[in-house]
Chains A and B, each alone.
Chain A
Amino acid sequence: MLSLLIALACAPKPAAEAPAPPAVDAAAPAPAAPVAAEAVVGQAAPDFTLTDVTGASHTLSAYKGKTVVLEWFNPDCPFVKYAHGQGGPLVGLPKTWIDQGVVWLAINSGAEGKQGAGKERNAAAVGEYGMVNPVLIDADGAVGRRYAAKTTPHMFIIDAQGVLVYDGALDNAPLGKVEAEPRQDHVVAALTALAAGQPVAQGRTQPYGCSVKY
């Protein structure tokens, strides 16, 4: 049985004829100013440098020549828990591709104090989930905003030339429930195509999951 509690930041903001604002709205932080996304499929992926939970620095452009996967991450988001939990679609997947030369970077853009945010919590999550890839901390959300990362997990793939070739969902099965048959593992399909020297057939899909906790 799914027994999930999620800290999605979805404090309602009522439309004109909506009922009185729920109490949670008052507690919600003011939305940040919108920033136009710089990450566009088919164009050069925005470069960034972030530090992972072990203190190591990662610069995207330094990985040129390799395929890079970016996985927006929050260890306490139920969609992430499901994907990294027993039998989940992200269990073992990074390792499979890292073994084939792919770079896999998880990024947490949660602001300080938000659910699943911070170096300490994410360092613990690496052990809990048995993660073999680095978890990068983007506490001010700057990289998340440049990529317009919306959810956890929101997936991006950058090819060996540094071009963004995929922006979207991990698969079409949130919490393991397929939205429309057949099941589509979008990230696996894209990585498989790239490994075969083929173009990625579907460059954009709609990501699902918890909101990124900016």
Chain B
Amino acid sequence: MLTLLTLLACSPVRPNADGPGDGGVAAGGPRPPRVEVTLVAEAKGYAPGQAMWLAVQYDIQKDWHLYWSNPGDTGLPTTAALTAPEGWGVEGPDYAAPHRFVSPGELVSFGYSDSATLMFRVTPPAEAAGDAVFTAAARWLACKEICVPGEATASLSLSPIHGAWTGGGLDAQLGLIPLPMAIWPGATARLDDGARSLSVDLPGAAEVEVFPDAETWLHLAGPPQVASSARGQLVRLTLRPDAPEGLTPRGVMRATPKGGGNAQVLDFYAPPSTPE
């Protein structure tokens, strides 16, 4: 039986009356943004020993946005910490691929409007029994012209299912998080310039967006270079000369196939090193 407990979410925010003035903020202050956080599961219950997905869902008021794990030039990452019953395995969060925002001064940020999704993979022990309660502690910075930090918790209780367990209730959300690059037919990755530059060739791609992870972002020599060819799209990220040894460009990409079809979110990473 599905028991969904959701504690919403909006940090109460008001203009900082005792601060040294919020220049640029309209008289009376803007209305605080609503960010509602829910925790949902891919099935109505759990099967002992069977791994399953949970999603922390942030529903964002129109015109506001939250940030990806790498916020880019400005902002703060959206985060969630999941508490599971003792003995359960927890992996994650995996972030949905973001969109790109540009503000004056060519400052580039990565984030979400409308909704953000962070996914966790949880695994009950084989001997699990009784209701399992999960709590996600979520934190974010919501922005439009101004920004407001917020936090909330959301909970979910799942009962054990004996007999046939059916997952798949979060397939739409799973389509937003990165899959291994190798699932794209013919995808290849190549390191050049003493492993300072990573090129990814995606045959059959009409369009590719690349979002470097936080560590790579700090050390990039410039924005991703995307070149079109008859074959598809070639994407290249290059590190600055002063980037630390051992760092290779990585992140996620969103690729749209030629001739239409759904965009695919993929990891952007260096190929495993092979012996000379």
Contact A208 B24 (CB under 8 A): no
Number of A-B pairs whose CB atoms are under 8 Å? 175
Describe A's contact surface by its main secondary structure: loop
Q: Are B20 and A81 in contact (CB under 8 A)?
A: yes
Given contacts A10-B109, A31-B103, contact A4 B74 (CB under 8 A): no
Q: Is the CB of B147 within 8 A of A10?
A: yes
A22 x B104 contact (CB < 8 A): no
Do A151 and B100 contact each other (CB < 8 Å), given the known contacts A24-B63, A204-B219?
no
Option from B16, B99, B217 in Cβ contact (under 8 Å) with A206: B217
A12, B101: Cβ atoms under 8 Å?
Answer: yes
A183 sits at the interface (CB 8 A): no
State whether B102 touches A13 (Cβ < 8 A). Answer: yes
Residues of the A chain whose Cβ atoms lie less than 8 Å from the Cβ of B257: none
Note all chain A residues with C-beta closer than 8 A to B20. 75-76, 81, 124-125, 128-129
Q: Are B103 and A18 in contact (CB under 8 A)?
A: no
**Complexed CA–CA distance, A164 and B220 (Å):** 18
CB distance from A200 to the nearest CB of B (A): 13
Cβ-defined contact, A8 with B145, below 8 A: yes
Contact assessment for A13 and B105 in the assembled complex, using a CB-CB cutoff below 8 Å: no
Contact residue among B114, B144, B147 (Cβ-Cβ distance under 8 Å from A78): B147
The smallest C-beta distance from B45 to any residue of chain A, in angstroms, reads 34
A95 to chain B, nearest CB (A): 19
Decide if A174 is an interface residue (CB 8 Å cutoff).
yes
Asked if residues A5 and B104 are in contact (CB atoms below 8 Å), the reply is: no
Q: In whole angstroms, how far apart are the Cα atoms of A115 and B21 in the complex?
A: 10
Query: Which residues from 100 to 119 on chain B have a C-beta closer than 8 Å to any C-beta of chain A?
Result: 100-107, 109, 111, 113-114
Chain B 53-86 per-residue mask, 1 if CB under 8 angstroms from chain A, else 0: 0000000001101000001011111000000000
Do residues B105 and A214 form an inter-chain contact, with CB atoms below 8 A?
yes
B13:A12 contact, CB within 8 angstroms: no
CB of A19 within 8 A of CB of B114, answer yes
Contact (Cβ within 8 A) B13 A3: yes
| B201 proximal to A (CB < 8 A) | no
Q: Are B218 and A204 in contact (CB under 8 A)?
A: yes
How far is it, in angstroms, between the C-alpha of A117 and the C-alpha of B23 when the chains are bound?
9
- Is B42 positioned at the interface, with any CB of A under 8 Å from its CB? no
Asked whether A65 is an interface residue with its Cβ less than 8 Å from the other chain, the reply is no
CB neighbours (8 Å) of B219 from chain A are 204
Is A7 interfacial (CB-CB < 8 Å)?
A: yes
The proximity string for A residues 193-214 relative to B, scoring 1 for CB distances below 8 Å and 0 otherwise, is: 0000000000111101111111
Q: Is B49 an interface residue (CB 8 A)?
A: no
Of all chain B residues, the one with the shortest Cβ separation from A208 is B76
Q: Are B113 and A19 in contact (CB under 8 A)?
A: yes
Cross-chain contact B24 with A76 (CB below 8 angstroms) = yes
Known: A9-B103, A10-B103, A11-B103. A175 touches B149 (CB 8 A): yes
**A40 located at the interface, meaning its Cβ lies under 8 Å from any Cβ of chain B in the complex:** yes
What are the residues of chain B within 8 A of A55 when measuring CB–CB?
none
Contact with A along B10-37 (1 / 0, CB 8 A): 0101111001111111000110000000
How far is it, in angstroms, between the C-alpha of A150 and the C-alpha of B148 when the chains are bound?
19
Interchain CA distance A134-B275 in the complex, whole Å:
57
10 shortest interchain CB distances as A-B pairs = A115-B24, A214-B105, A6-B147, A7-B24, A22-B63, A211-B74, A15-B99, A34-B106, A8-B147, A128-B20
Beyond A11-B144, A31-B106, 9 additional pairs, beta carbon < 8 A: A3-B16, A4-B13, A4-B149, A7-B23, A7-B25, A10-B75, A13-B101, A76-B23, A208-B71
**B residues at A contact (CB < 8 Å):** 11, 13-16, 19-25, 29-30, 62-63, 65, 71, 73-77, 99-107, 109, 111, 113-114, 139, 143-149, 207, 209, 214, 217-219, 242, 256, 263
A residues engaging B (CB < 8 A)?
Answer: 2-19, 22-24, 27-34, 40-42, 75-76, 78, 81, 111, 114-117, 121, 124-125, 128-129, 141, 144-145, 150-151, 174-175, 177, 179, 203-206, 208-214
